[in-house]
Structure 1
Amino acid sequence: MRAWKGMDWDVMNRLHEKGYIGNPKSKAKSVPLTEEGARISEALFKKHFGLSS
């Protein structure tokens, strides 16, 4: 899973330091999400955009 690098560089660096994304300092236009980053993003998506029962 990959994420676009359209965010502020300070934000990208903090996400990388926490282990949620790969190193943003590359020529690629996207960065890979780590397993933990993907797990957390899925949980947050379900929390904020999932259907409530």
Structure 2
Amino acid sequence: MDDIDTDRIDEAVLALLHLGLHDEGRTWKTFDWEAMNRLHAKGFISDPIGKTKSVVFTEVGARRAEELFRQLFARRS
């Protein structure tokens, strides 16, 4: 599977992270580690490495996650 677009994967993971949003901008980090590391490198989330079970969205990451969530999963009328 060499023809995988990791940017599109990252966008989908970021959008799905929006579903796990809970207090203080935190979200559960239950996705592929490589994708989580790329999202951190892109400045969307805090460092996923550690014992906590969640990460924190950056301001830009929270905004982009919501945009992508609506773009990918909202019903169009």
- TM-score class, shorter: 0.7 to 0.9
Aligned residues, how many?
53
For structure 1, which segment, 15-24 or 38-47, has the greater mean C-alpha deviation from structure 2 after superposition?
38-47
Mapped partners of 1:19, 1:50: distance in 2: 25
Percent identical: 53
Structure richer in helix, relative to its length: 2
Partner of 1:4: 28
1:47 Cα deviation after fit: 1.9
Q: Distance in 2 between matches of 1:48 and 1:10?
A: 21
Aligned to 1:13: 37
Residue 34 of structure 2 aligns to a residue in which SS?
Answer: helix
- Unaligned ranges ≥5, structure 2: 1-24
Which of 29, 38, 42 aligns to 2:66? It is 42
Amino acid at match of 1:13: N
- Structure 1: which 5+ residue stretches go unaligned? none
Q: In 1, Cα distance between the equivalents of 2:39 and 2:32?
A: 11
CA distance in structure 1 between the aligned counterparts of 2:66 and 2:30, rounded to whole angstroms: 19
What TM-score do you get using the length of structure 2 for normalisation? 0.61
Q: Is the partner of 1:31 in helix, strand or coil?
A: strand
Letter in 2 for 1:49: F
